[in-house]
Amino acid sequence: MQQEPSKYEPLKIEKKWQTRWEEARAFEPSDDKSLPKKYILSMFPYPSGRIHMGHVRNYTISDAIARHYRQMGYNVLHPMGWDSFGMPAENAAIKHGLHPKKWTYENIDYMRQELASLGLSFSRKREFATSDPLYTKFEQEFIIRMFEEGLLYEKKQRVNWCETCHTVLANEQVIDGRCWRCDNEIALREMPGYYIRITAYAQELLDDLKKLEDGWPKQVVTMQENWIGRSEGLSFRLMLAQQSQAKLGNSFQGFEVFTTRPDTIYGVSYTALAPEHPIVNYLIEHGCLDEAKIAQIKAMQNMPERERATAEKEGVDLEISVINPLTSEEIPVWVANFVLSGYGGGAVMAVPAHDQRDWEFATKYGLPIREVVHAPGSDLEKGAWSGDGVLVASGHYTGMSNREAKDAIIDHFEVLAIGRREINYKLRDWGISRQRYWGAPIPFIHCPACGLVPEAIENLPITLPDDVEITGEGNPLESHPTWKKTACPRCGGDATRETDTMDTFVQSSWYFLRYCTPNDPERPFKREDVDYWMSVDQYVGGIEHAILHLLYARFFTKALRDLGYINVDEPFSNLLTQGMVLKEGAKMSKSKGNTVDPDAIIASYGADTARLFILFAAPPQKELEWNDSAVEGAFKFIRRLVDRSDNVTEKSLPGIDHAALSKEEKTARRKVYEALRKSAEIYENRSFAFNTVIAAAMEALNALNAQKNTLVWSEGYFVLLNILEPVIPHICWELSEKLFELGNFTAITIPQEVFEAESIRLAVTVNGKKRDEIEVSPDLGKEEILSMAKTKCAKWLEDKTLVKEIYVPGKLVNLVVK
RNA sequence: GCGGACGUGGUGAAAUUGGUAUACACGCCAGACUUAGGAUCUGGUGCCGCAAGGCGUGGAGGUUCAAGUCCUCUCGUCCGCACCA
C-alpha cells in the first residue's frame, strides 16, 4: 500500500492518542450540572466476540456527534456498555463447553479493546454489563415493584415457542412466524409465564409518538403506530336463539363481538367464530355436529396461525343461530379459519357487502350479501365496498351518512345497555419469561402456603448458580440440585424459586438510565443525575429495533416514571437509524462470506481511514456499500492532509486582511469557511450528512493548495482540523497539537467578509435553458445586468420577440422569448 | 392487499429547499516525474455529434419565466404490517 516513505504513520499516532486519552480520562463528563448537556448514545452491543462493520458505523456516527458537541462546549455523556445476557453464550457453552459467564466476559474484554482501537470517546467510568449482579439487582427490584402495582402478572397462555432456542418468545419477537434470533419456525404451546402489562400504556405510547415526530424517522413512528394498532368501535353481545341455547345445553347465552363498523349491523348475514372459541369446542365435545364437520373443524384448529394467514378462507356451518339486535332476525353461526381467537373475543359479525373477508367467505358458501351502505363506486358483484356512503335498508338510519350512523348506532346500543363503545389495541402484553439459564432470574417464589410471592428486596440480587451443566436440553436452573430450593419470604416455609429468566429486552429497556450515575452500588441511578442527563439527545442504532427495543424502552421509561423513580416521559428525543453495511450488494454475513474485518482494516490503514470512509461513502441513514478502492482514497486524503500541513506557519488563528488577498487566496478562505458553515449545519438540522461536510473539507483543501499564502494555509488548517476532528480524531489531535497546541477544538467564529465577493457570476438563461454566464459586481443595477445579458446572448434572441426579463439577484437572468 | 421510503453519470453520491444538474470521491483516459509504477503530481471525463448544436435526474402529463425539487397518473426497487373485524 504505502511504498513511499510518508510522514503519515497511522498506527503509531493512533496508539499514542488512544493511550493519552485513556490515561487522561479525557472524555469523562463533568459533574457540574449547570453546564449545557448533550447525551449522545449508540445502542449497546451484544458481546458476540468480535466487532463487525455495523458496529464500526454505529459507534463512529455517535462518536463524531459527541466529539462535535464537546468542541462546542457542551457537557457530553457518551457511554458504552454490554447487553450481555442472551442465547449465544449458552450456544457457545453447548458447542465448545465454555461457561457462559467466562465466554461473555472474555468477549467483552476483547471487544472493549477493539472499540478502543477505533478511538471512540466513551466515558469509561460508567461502563457495565447487564449480566453484572449489580445490574440484575435493580432490575429485579423494578420487576417486583411492577408486580406490586399490577403491572406484572403471571398467567397460563398459548405462547410462541421456539424449538431451537427452547424458549418462549413475545409477539414482537416472532417475525413472519419465525424466531427473530434463530429464524426457526415457532410453534404454539400452552405454558405459564410472566407478563408485563404494556397494554396499560397503549394509549400513552400511541399519543406520545406525536412528541417524537420531529426527532424520529417517520417510518419508525408509523411502524409503532401500526403495531399498537388502535381501533375504535362497538362491542356487543349477540344472543343465541332459543333452540340454539338449548342445543348448547344452556351453557351459553350468546357471545361478545367487536366491530369498527356498527353502521353496517343491518347488513350482517352470518357470524363467525374462531376455531378455538369455547362454543365450537362444546359442539365438538357433545357430538352436536356430524363426523365430517368435526373433522373439518379439527383440521382448522390444528393449522398453525401462520399457515391460516395464507390459507384459503374456510368454514363450517355450526347449525346454531343468533339474533341481530337491530333487526331481530336470526343469523347463522359459522366457524371460520380467518377469525383470530386472540382479538375482540374471537368472534365477528360478518357483513359481506362491506368487508372483503366476509365477502369472500359469503361468496364461497353462498351466504347472502346485503348492501346497507350505498356509494357510487360500489360494485358488490366484484367485491365488498368498505368505503363511505349512505345507509340503505337500515331501518330509521336509512339515508344517514355511514359516519353519522356509526355514532348514532353506538349511542343506541349504549342507551339500551346492550353494547358499549370500545377501543381495542393490537398490542399484546409483553411476555418476559424465558426458559433459559443465561438471563436475569425472575425474582419470584412459589410457596405452597402463600402462592406466588416476590423475593424480599433485601435479598436481591438473585444471582445465577455457576455450577451448571449446559446441554441445551431443558432449563439448567430447573435441573440444578439446590438452587431453586429456598424459604418463602412471607411465611418462612419451604418454597421454590421461579426458574424462568427474563427476556433480554428487559435489560435494554433501562440501561440508558443506569449510565446517568456511574455504577452506584446503592441504587439504580441518582434522581438528580437522571433529571440532568435525560432524555437522550441523540440515539443511534439499527432500524431492526424499530418496534422491539424502542417500544419496550419507551414503556419502561413511563412505567418507572409512574413507580416514582424518574421524571421522564420519553427516553429518546432524537433517533437516527443507520443503514446497513453491504458488500457486493448484500448484507455482510459469515454465511455469504462477504465480510470485511474491521481489525484488518484498522491494521493496514488505521482507524481514521476506516472512520473517514464510513462517514464519507454515504449519509448515515442510507445503506453503505463497502468499496476497497474508496477506502484507499480515504487514506490518501488523510495523507495529503498530513503532507500539506508543512505550509502552516502560525501557532494560532491569524488575522488576515481579506481585501488585500488574491483571487485564489480569497477562494481558499471562502471554501474553508463554507466547510465550517456546512459542518455546523449538519449537526443543527440533525441530518448528520458527514459525507457533505467531508466533501466540503476536501474542496477547501484543494482550494488551499491552489494558493501559496501561509497565513491562509494556517487559518485553513486551524479550521479544517476543527471540522475533521469528529471524523478523524487521531490525526487531527496529532496535527493540532503540533501546529496549534490543541487550541483549535473550540467554536470558531465565521468572518462574514469571506463570503463577500467583489464579483459574482450570474447564469444567463433563455426560456430557462442556460446559454451563457456574465461576471458582474454585486451592486450593479438590474438594468445594466439585463442589458449585459441581452448583449451576451444576442445570438439566442435573433428573430425572436423578447416577452419577459427576469432577474434573480445573485443567481441568474432569464430571458423569455417567443 | 395496506402503509412507508426511494429511483440522478460507469460507481458511491451532491444540489443553498422552485433558480447555472452531476459538487466531492471512486473508476477510467491523457500527460509529467520515473529503470518501472499498482506511488506522487497535473489535466480531462453525463450522453449523442467532426462541429454548430441537441438530449439529459425511471416514464407520461401538468403548474411556473424557471421543476431533480411542487401536483396528477404510471412503472420499478427496497422495507414494514399482513385476515386485528
Alpha-helical runs (H) found in A521-652? 527-533, 548-562, 598-605, 607-616, 628-643
Q: What is the DSSP string of A179-226?
A: ETTT-PBEEEEEEEEEEE-GGGGHHHHHHTHHHHTTTS-HHHHHHHHH
Q: How far apart are CA A621 and CA A577, in angstroms?
A: 6
User: CB count, 10 Å around CB of A792?
Assistant: 16
Q: What is the mean pLDDT of residues A535-564?
A: 94
Helix (H) or strand (E) holding A271: strand A270-273
Task: Say which nucleotide is closest to residue A357, CA to C1' distance.
Answer: B83
Per CA to C1' distance, which residue is closest to B2?
A226
Per CA to C1' distance, which residue is closest to B80?
A223
What does residue A373 show for φ and ψ, rounded to 5 degrees?
Answer: -120, 115
Residue A509, SS3 per DSSP: helix
Spatial distance from the CA of A814 to the C1' of B56 (Å):
21
Spatial distance from the CA of A365 to the C1' of B74 (Å):
38
pLDDT band at A438 (very low <50, low <70, confident <90, very high): very high
Helix (H) or strand (E) holding A445: strand A444-447
Task: Say which nucleotide is closest to residue A685, CA to C1' distance.
Answer: B17
* CA geometry: angle A193, A196, A197, nearest 5 deg: 125
Cβ pair A136, A514 in contact under 8 A: no
pLDDT at A768: 84
Cβ pair A317, A328 in contact under 8 A: no
Spatial distance from the CA of A113 to the C1' of B25 (Å):
31
Spatial distance from the CA of A629 to the C1' of B30 (Å):
21
Spatial distance from the CA of A377 to the C1' of B74 (Å):
22
Spatial distance from the CA of A783 to the C1' of B28 (Å):
46
Q: How far apart are CA A601 and CA A607, in angstroms?
A: 8
Task: Say which nucleotide is closest to residue A358, CA to C1' distance.
Answer: B85
ipTM of predicted assembly, 2 dp: 0.95
Helices A628-643 and A607-616: angle between axes, nearest 10 degrees: 120
Cβ pair A574, A216 in contact under 8 A: yes
Per CA to C1' distance, which residue is closest to B64?
A768
CA dihedral for A666, A667, A672, A674, sign (positive or negative): positive
Percent of chain A with pLDDT over 90: 73
Per CA to C1' distance, which residue is closest to B20?
A763
Q: What is the pLDDT of residues A775-817, one digit of tens each?
A: 888 788 888 888 888 888 887 887 778 888 888 888 888 988 8
Total number of residues shown for chain A: 818
Spatial distance from the CA of A583 to the C1' of B75 (Å):
28
Kindly give, in sequence order, each residue whose CB lies less than 8 Å from that of residue A714, ignoring residues fewer than 6 positions away: A647, A648, A649, A650, A653, A654, A739
Task: Say which nucleotide is closest to residue A808, CA to C1' distance.
Answer: B19
What does residue A723 show for φ and ψ, rounded to 5 degrees?
Answer: -65, -40
Cβ pair A146, A429 in contact under 8 A: no
Cβ pair A644, A50 in contact under 8 A: no
Spatial distance from the CA of A692 to the C1' of B7 (Å):
21
Q: How far apart are CA A278 and CA A295, in angstroms?
A: 17
Task: Say which nucleotide is closest to residue A706, CA to C1' distance.
Answer: B42
Mean of pLDDT over chain A: 92
Per CA to C1' distance, which residue is closest to B23?
A695
Residue type, A260: T
The candidate with the shortest Cα–Cα distance to A565, out of A617, A530, A616, A521, is A530
pLDDT band at A66 (very low <50, low <70, confident <90, very high): very high
Helices A607-616 and A53-71: angle between axes, nearest 10 degrees: 90
pLDDT band at A172 (very low <50, low <70, confident <90, very high): low
Question: Is the preceding omega at residue A461 within 30 degrees of 0, hence cis?
Answer: yes
Q: What is the pLDDT of residues A409-430, one digit of tens each?
A: 999 999 999 999 999 999 989 9
pLDDT at A6: 62
Residue type, A617: A
Spatial distance from the CA of A576 to the C1' of B26 (Å):
27
Residue A595 has pLDDT above 70, yes or no: yes
Task: Say which nucleotide is closest to residue A341, CA to C1' distance.
Answer: B84
Alpha-helical runs (H) found in A72-164? 87-96, 100-116, 133-148
Residue A330 has pLDDT above 60, yes or no: yes
Kindly give, in sequence order, each residue whose CB lies less than 8 Å from that of residue A336, ignoring residues fewer than 6 positions away: A272, A273, A274, A313, A314, A315, A361
Per CA to C1' distance, which residue is closest to B16?
A678
Q: What is the DSSP string of A724-755?
A: HTTTSHHHHHHHHHHHHTTTTSS--PPPGGGG
pLDDT band at A170 (very low <50, low <70, confident <90, very high): confident
Which residue is it, cell 366491530? A259
What does residue A413 show for φ and ψ, rounded to 5 degrees?
Answer: -60, -40
State the cell numbers at A379.
Answer: 360494485
pLDDT at A439: 96
pLDDT band at A162 (very low <50, low <70, confident <90, very high): confident
More confident of the two residues A381 and A615: A615
Q: What is the pLDDT of residues A273-316, one digit of tens each?
A: 999 999 999 999 998 999 999 999 999 988 877 678 778 889 99
Residue A396 has pLDDT above 60, yes or no: yes
Give the pTM: 0.93
More confident of the two residues A230 and A587: A230
Alpha-helical runs (H) found in A276-401? 278-285, 291-302, 305-310, 356-365
Q: Is A185 exposed, middle or buried (0-12, 13-18, 19+ CB in 10 A)?
A: middle
Chain B nucleotides close to protein (CB under 7 A) are 3-5, 11-16, 19-21, 23-27, 37, 39-42, 53, 65-67, 79-85
Q: Is A818 exposed, middle or buried (0-12, 13-18, 19+ CB in 10 A)?
A: exposed
Q: What is the pLDDT of residues A87-129, one digit of tens each?
A: 889 888 888 889 999 999 999 999 999 999 999 999 999 999 9
Cβ pair A430, A170 in contact under 8 A: yes
Kindly give, in sequence order, each residue whose CB lies less than 8 Å from that of residue A371, ignoring residues fewer than 6 positions away: A267, A353, A378, A380, A385, A392, A393
pLDDT at A4: 45
Kindly give, in sequence order, each residue whose CB lies less than 8 Å from that of residue A164, ignoring residues fewer than 6 positions away: A179, A182, A184
State the cell numbers at A55.
Answer: 458496529
Percent of chain A with pLDDT over 70: 99
More confident of the two residues A388 and A294: A294
Spatial distance from the CA of A140 to the C1' of B70 (Å):
55
Q: What is the mean pLDDT of residues A471-488?
A: 89
Question: Is the preceding omega at residue A535 within 30 degrees of 0, hence cis?
Answer: yes
Cβ pair A130, A82 in contact under 8 A: yes
A627: left (phi over 0), alpha (psi -120 to 50) or beta: beta
Q: How far apart are CA A347 and CA A367, in angstroms?
A: 18
Q: How far apart are CA A299 and CA A481, in angstroms?
A: 43
Torsion angle defined by CA atoms of residues A121, A125, A129 and A135, in that order, rounded to the nearest 10 degrees: -140
The candidate with the shortest Cα–Cα distance to A439, out of A81, A101, A111, is A101
